[in-house]
Amino acid sequence: MNAKLKTARIGDTLYIYDEVGEKTVRKNIVPDGHAATFGNKTSEWIIDEPVVDSSKSGSGVYTWDASGNRVKHARIRYTKDANGNVSKRHERFIYKLLED
């Protein structure tokens, strides 16, 4: 049986996998903070965007965790298709340090 191989490129690294491994590649490579370009000319990347309440001011615009050290972020997966159209999908909420 001949398995059809697929590729994904992140920077200078080329990943080669079969159809069975595609879900694993997308799950494990993309969340590392890199944009992955796949063989079909699509790209994916993830950005953690702080959740803000524009009706408040100062640090009150953020939703802080109970310890007051971490801020609520929305994890967004962006996908760019072969035609250059970008879509985004909310994956989940996480709490992490607020970056400047």
* Domain locations along the chain: 5-96
Whose CA is closest to 47, among 2, 86, 21, 19? 86
Task: Determine the length of the chain.
Answer: 100
3-state SS class at 44:
strand
pLDDT of residue 87: 95
pLDDT of residue 62: 95
pLDDT of residue 15: 73
Q: pLDDT tens string for the chain (100 positions)?
A: 466 777 777 777 777 777 767 677 667 666 666 777 877 788 888 889 999 999 999 999 999 999 999 999 999 989 999 899 999 999 999 999 987 5
pLDDT of residue 98: 85
pTM for the whole thing?
Answer: 0.71
pLDDT of residue 17: 76
pLDDT of residue 67: 93
Contacts of 82 (CB under 8 A, 6+ apart): 40, 41, 42
Local structure of residue 26 (DSSP, 8 states)? H
